[in-house]
Structure 1
């Protein structure tokens, strides 16, 4: 299905948000300890066996959060227990990265209780997606370091092997490879530059109006979702537009919208929004609840070229030089 709208090229170069300064995070090294927590929904140990085995085979050690397999209805234990795990993993200097076990629901409940100065003083890799969008964006907004929209541990035994290898290579400090986008997904051709911001549409829309919503001025915005009817996708996009939160966005990218109606229907909603914002727009980013879930560093500077079919991350988001997680080295991306 050809989605390319025949119109003039548009080029947007976004400025950074006013509070752009963000701390570096240290890259992973062989033998590093990765903490695994469940900030959202519950799961069983068997759900993580393949993912944890993969991480161990890659040379990492694993420390489980105390509430990793806790259960309280639709949550992985109480808010207090999940929060304690989050704080403990960031406070512990032996832990070099924090990986989330799964999504579900629950991250939103933690935000107003998080010790933001603690996280800001201990920047480290934090990775997840779906419901974890709330946590990743809030960390970037409040603690000011790059977070990673990428696989949860439950996915790691099932995802595309090349994508997993690339994810771990970037977390070890390698420069990210350009992400290829399907040319048939182009809705509005053009180029855009700016910090990469986004994640799950439902969670982003629920952050609107809160202190944890990211400044999207100049941002290249990516969105994905799962199990939402087209009218709900429409409603959430409209809510973000009406709130004024999308003013100044430099580009728009659609990821996976699994069980959200037809691709044509979702693409029409994205095109309508992109026309209103007058920004380049494309679909087909392999991110979300599908067979692929590429690593996307939230806050990193990127360049989108829809006609070339490339999303290029302009910096290595994990720092191989930094050797002290307690330091507050800062840079302008």
Structure 2
């Protein structure tokens, strides 16, 4: 502000000096208008008129930009709520349409191929009883532990996204390979066609990338190879989210959340497989605490973890010890015991959708604040 005032004064002084040092007069003719005036005054008036015309020419674009900004602000206001203690709203989300029985879907394999052909065929058959499978991955193009070369896998993903009839993209399984696709995905295409992405484990990489790059919400739910053996609680949790029904994320499961640190917060639910999440940080030495992630979140929810066989003759730290070391003294709520991991039954999680985490002496709960689909 002070610099602008000083600059304006300098321009004014220069203009006055120019007028005093150039007292000559000149004839001015414009169409039928004729007059005579100071050369300096004529030049300054012409310069001022040029500035005004330039400013007026940009006025339509400025008004259009202002209208877009107001529209975006209204969208943010309707899409989100502010987190406690923060005035920053959630990002505007691109929610896919609801996924109802009989809807057309695509089945892709962005990571590894099925461990056995039987589990895939049985799961695909079970999936076909609920939805219309328009596109489905077929064996024959495997490359090592990958279901197909990178270019083929990302092409299948693109074709599913750009198909206007496809209501959801189901992943065959996790394994490994989704990280190899992130730099190949057409994010502009994704922003134009939000589609419900279903999967977990290695699909964590896709869920987080689509949220970051395209503002998709997704569903961390059962992969195709699990559908033949999925229990009612797992399927009910998944289908409730597909219908757009916000609910208690643990309502259908015989499991209780245990608080490690208390508090109540709201925010977008992000995460998934911890191993994949760690690799997304960016370096081979990255650690969630060292990378600052644990200082930036509003809360932490721990699912179930698999451990190898312990040698009774060797000293070790148990999971409870590790959780206490890194999370027990946090200023935000931390809970464990969410029925989510590499097992069944398992609850489905709405990636990117706002949820509320409550960990108090009276109640420990994780509830949805809005649907994952555009209901």
TM range (shorter): 0.7 to 0.9
Asked which structure has the greater CA Rg, the reply is 2
Q: 2:342 aligns with which of 289, 297, 312?
A: 289
- Residues 184 and 22 (structure 1), Cα distance of their counterparts in 2 relative to 1, 3 Å cut: closer
Residue 126 of structure 2, aligned match among 46, 54, 65:
54
Q: Specify which structure has the higher proportion of helix.
A: 2
Contact 1:102–1:128 (8 Å) recurs in 2: yes
CA distance in 2, matches of 1:249, 1:111: 23
- The residue number in structure 1 matching 2:368 is 313
Measured at CA, do residues 72 and 51 of structure 1 come closer, stay the same or move farther in structure 2, by a change above 3 Å?
Answer: same
**DSSP-derived class of the 1:174 partner:** coil
Report the CA distance between 1:261 and its aligned residue: 6.7
Equivalent residue in structure 1 for 2:261, among 159, 170, 188: 188
Residue of structure 1 aligned with 2:109, choices 38, 44, 49: 38
Does the residue aligned with 1:197 lie in a helix, a strand or coil? coil
Whether the 8 Å contact between 1:15 and 1:194 is mirrored in structure 2 is no
1:279 aligns with 2:332: yes
Aligned twin of 1:200? 273
The aligned counterpart of 1:171 is 242
Q: Structure 1 stretch 265-274 or stretch 175-184: which is displaced more?
A: 175-184
| Structure 2 SS opposite 1:51 | helix
Distance 1:49 1:252, change over 3 A: same
Deviations 1:293-326 (A, max 9, x none): 2111111111112342321011121123xxxxxx
Matches of 1:193 and 1:201 in 2, distance apart? 21
Is the Cα–Cα contact under 8 Å of residues 241 and 350 in structure 2 kept in the other structure? Answer: no
**Is the 8 Å Cα contact of residues 160 and 166 (structure 2) preserved in structure 1?**
yes
Any idea what SS the aligned residue of 1:240 has?
coil
Aligned twin of 1:249: 297
Secondary structure of 1:285 counterpart: coil
Give the structure 2 partner of residue 239 of structure 1: 287
> Take 1:132 and 1:294, find their aligned partners in 2: how far apart are those partners?
16
On the 8 A contact 1:65/1:85 being kept in 2, the answer is: no
Higher fraction of strand: 1
Change in 2 beyond 3 A, CA 1:250/1:261: farther
Aligned equivalent of 1:81: 152
Cα 1:250–1:87 change in 2 (3 A) is same
Residue 275 of structure 1: how far off its partner (Å)? 3.6
Runs (4 or more) in structure 1 with deviation over 4 Å come to 14-19, 66-69, 180-184
1:27 aligns to what?
98
Q: CA deviation at 1:67?
A: 5.4
Please list, as runs of the form range in 1=range in 2, the aligned pairs for 1:76-225 lying within 5 A after superposition: 76-180=147-251, 182-183=255-256, 185-209=258-282
Give the whole-Å Cα distance in 2 for the aligned partners of 1:286 and 1:136.
19
SS in 2 for 1:71: coil
Once residues 140 and 244 of structure 2 are traced to their aligned partners in structure 1, the CA distance between those partners, rounded to angstroms, is 30
Question: Structure 1 pair 258/277, CA: closer, same or farther in 2 (3 Å)?
Answer: same
Which shows bigger deviation, 181-190 or 195-204? 181-190
Q: Provide the aligned length of Structure 1 versus Structure 2.
A: 283
Equivalent residues in 2 for 1:63-78, closer than 5 Å? 63-66=134-137, 70-78=141-149
Q: Could you say which residue in structure 2 is the equivalent of 1:226?
A: none
Deviation of 1:267 (Å):
2.5
- Asked whether the 8 Å contact 1:37–1:68 carries over to 2, the reply is no
Instruction: List runs of 5+ in structure 1 lacking aligned partners.
Output: 1-11, 211-234, 321-333
User: Which structure has the higher relative contact order (CA within 8 Å, separation 6+)?
Assistant: 1
Unaligned runs of 5+ in 2: 1-82, 311-316
Kindly indicate whether the alpha-carbon contact (under 8 Å) linking 2:256 and 2:338 is maintained by their aligned counterparts in 1: no
SS at match of 2:320: helix
> Structure 2-normalised TM-score?
0.69
